[in-house]
Amino acid sequence: MKSRRNYPLLLASQFLSAFGDTAILAVIVGQLTVLNKNGSITETVLRQRSALYTSLLFIPYILLAPLGGYLNDRYAKTVWLAGGNAVKLLGTVVCAISIWQGYAWQMPGYLIVGIGACFYGPAKYGILPEILPAERLVKANGMVELLTLTAILGGNIVGSVMVDRLSLTTCYVALVAIYTTSFLLNLLMTRSPSNPGVRLGASITEFAIHTRDLLSAARLGKVLIGTALFWVAGAAMKINFQPWGLNVLHLTTNTQISLLGLWLAVGIMGGSILAGVLHRVGDLRWTRRYGFGLVAMLVLVWSVAEIGFWRNWVVVAGPFKLLPWVILLLIATGVVAGLFLIPLNASLQSESDPAKLGKTIAVQNLTDNLGMLLASGLVGLCLKLSISASGVFGVLACVVLGVVLWLRLPARPAAKTV
């Protein structure tokens, strides 16, 4: 099935869905900044709750990964693009109940959004080989990541601006509109193939076996660990930006803090584009070098609190407080991270068994989200050990270095075996 309209519709839907995922978290977590600034909660409580709410999106991927793999192997992936968005829409409505019933309603609501993302995730990547030729997979992955990261930075900024300036009612009305539009775009897609022969019990057993086989494979197992490492670093940085921005960079609003994620995402987008230009499918010779580059960048981010140079140049533009040297550093960090990730993603998709690609992407979602949950735990552990927000970046650099030293990728096999 090679419908010409499915690829652009996928890109548009994915942009809006990822935008909503990030914007709703910005609205939820942004309220913590407001509470901290007015003295209602301490920095410690802010860091704890920020890590907790951020981790809610990862939990469904871990618990429901086998089900997500089954649904995307059994049914048309276009069905679960729409189904995932429908569940996210339900979660947003539950979050909105907090307007009348209290802040606590946002926790189950955002957890439901995570369930929708768990079902949506395998479909958005797994459908690519069904609608595009193999030689376009690296560039298509780069484009999906480019739009996803654009949506993440845009959603983070827009969500932060909304929670700073608008009522919660207006915020949630906007979020409902975003998910509804993404859902409708999915309905316009030409239906992709299904596989009625897939059974749930057998699928879950096969998922466990497939997970074991992938993780034990000499090459693809390390590819999975590599993609998970990217998300460990990204999640830890994202969680840590809020206290780091408040206490190291002395930013004062959610809008100003959200720009930190913008600069990082701009770099990742640039790295994603470069990866599509510089590397063919299966070319992982530079992966460890990019990993070591990421370690170096994290050490420099840690140094911002220790070396005044990074904060000496400040530009105030209306409501924005910009630190150009910090901006350049975050962009460079993102470029290296994007170059690290994209070839790994393309190799996983192209070297896996096409008949099990839904399960393969679900396994990747499992490992990536386990990584992000570990990142939340890492930030929480640093807080428990009284490590500063700046020190978290130093600890993260050590973790990345350890994994990259282990990450020796063998050459691509002559035939697909997993």
Q: Which residue has the higher pLDDT, 97 or 35?
A: 97
Calpha distance 274→328 (Å, rounded): 17
Query: 294 pLDDT band (50/70/90 cuts)?
Result: very high
Average pLDDT, the chain: 87
Q: What is the dihedral of CA 304, 310, 315, 317, to 10 degrees?
A: -30
Query: Which three-class secondary structure state does DSSP give residue 190?
Result: coil
Judged against a pLDDT cut of 80, whether residue 137 lies above it is answered with no
| % of the chain residues with pLDDT over 90 | 40
Calpha distance 161→30 (Å, rounded): 9
pLDDT reported for residue 249: 92
Distances 126 to 20, 186, 315 between C-alpha atoms, Å:
21, 15, 44
Residues 205-230 pLDDT 10s? 877 888 898 888 888 888 999 999 99
Q: Which residues contact 18 (CB under 8 A, 6 or more apart)?
A: 147, 148, 151, 152, 155
Judged against a pLDDT cut of 60, whether residue 409 lies above it is answered with yes
Query: 418 pLDDT band (50/70/90 cuts)?
Result: very low
- DSSP symbols for 328-357: HHHHHHHHHHHHHHHHHHHHHHHHS-GGGH
pLDDT reported for residue 378: 93
Judged against a pLDDT cut of 60, whether residue 45 lies above it is answered with yes
pLDDT reported for residue 225: 93
Q: Taking the model in full, what pTM does it have?
A: 0.77
* Average pLDDT estimate for 358-375: 84
Query: 417 pLDDT band (50/70/90 cuts)?
Result: very low
Query: 358 pLDDT band (50/70/90 cuts)?
Result: low
Q: Does the domain made of 6-186+197-406 have the CATH classification 1.10.3720.10?
A: no
pLDDT reported for residue 327: 95
* Average pLDDT estimate for 231-246: 91
Residues 67-85 pLDDT 10s? 877 887 788 889 989 999 9
Cα–Cα–Cα angle for 86, 91, 97, rounded to 5 degrees: 135
pLDDT reported for residue 346: 82
Query: 317 pLDDT band (50/70/90 cuts)?
Result: confident
pLDDT reported for residue 172: 95
* Average pLDDT estimate for 133-156: 79
Residues 166-176 pLDDT 10s? 998 999 999 99
